[in-house]
Amino acid sequence: MSSILDRFRLDGKVAVVTGASRGLGAAMAQALAEAGADLLLVARGDMSELQKSIAALGRRSVTLAADVGSVAAAGKIVAAAYEAFGRADILVNNAGIIRRGPVLEFSEQDWSDVLNVNLNGAFRLSQRFAVELVQRKLPGKIINIASMLSFQGGLRVVSYTASKSALAGLTRAMANELAPHGINVNALAPGYMATDNTEAIRADAARNKSILERIPAGRWGTAADLQGAAVFLSSPASDYMHGHILAVDGGWLAR
């Protein structure tokens, strides 16, 4: 007789994780491997240590250097997964960039660059990933990495906010059409996490203090805080979840 914990296992599954070289992406990839999945790790940074960690778990991983924002990337990434493993069951759209600046001076380049990676790249890859599943009549999981700025406006991050708000809408729209095919499309919305993207904010004593005062948990989140939620949304335990934006935020939105 199987237990509820068995429904969180990913044995025999293959996960594609973009932005996997560091931070949240590396932590989620590690968690999926611990749950039993093999990995296609997509990033332009060094992933050798992550690969060693995955191998130590008895899982396989393949790396691919790709610019997620390029039009050709989606086909290249999905093809690489099928070539290496013969399947692709889980997609984690984690790759993202941020540009900061006042809205009155925000450049066209910074607007376009962020939207292209965070939104266009995620859409193209999700679409290509889903096409393959539907053609093969197989179920699958798509997990977008949203943000607190999928719900709020933020300051000096207009293109990032636009991209993450749109990504939440994309999650719901794709869920509506793909649920009948057995494909779950959901999103994780990390709260204020201690990553490279927030280093400047954490270094600003006043800004850091104001953020911590609003987080009921009283601390910045860590990459490890996303691991359980990532495994859940990748696993059979979440089979009846479609179009949900799951906040992992230390209570930020509740405040």
Residue at 186 is within a domain:
yes
pLDDT tier at 221 (50, 70, 90 boundaries)? very high
Residues pairing with 246 in the sheet: 188
Segments forming the whole domain that contains residue 169: 4-246
Residue at 252 is within a domain:
no
C-alpha 254/C-alpha 251 separation (Å) is 5
Residue at 254 is within a domain:
no
**Which one from 82, 160, 192, 240 is the annotated catalytic residue?**
160
User: Could you tell me if 223 and 254 are in contact, meaning their C-beta atoms sit under 8 angstroms apart?
Assistant: no
Ranges of H-type helices in the chain: 23-34, 48-56, 73-85, 108-115, 122-136, 158-178, 199-203, 205-214, 227-234
Q: What is the pLDDT of residues 9-20, one digit of tens each?
A: 999 999 999 999
Q: How far is CA 181 from CA 10, 58, 168, 187, in A?
A: 20, 31, 20, 18
Residue at 155 is within a domain:
yes
Question: Looking at the 3D structure of the chain, how many domains does it have?
Answer: 1
CATH number at residue 233: 3.40.50.720
pLDDT tier at 1 (50, 70, 90 boundaries)? low
Residue at 251 is within a domain:
no
Residue at 20 is within a domain:
yes
Q: What is the pLDDT of residues 25-77, one digit of tens each?
A: 999 999 999 999 999 999 999 999 999 999 999 999 999 999 999 999 999 99
Q: What is the pLDDT of residues 162-176, one digit of tens each?
A: 999 999 999 999 999
Q: Does 82 participate in catalysis according to the annotation?
A: no
Residue at 148 is within a domain:
yes
User: Could you tell me if 25 and 18 are in contact, meaning their C-beta atoms sit under 8 angstroms apart?
Assistant: yes
Residue at 46 is within a domain:
yes
Determine which helix (DSSP H) or strand (DSSP E) holds 143, and give its type and residue range: strand 140-145
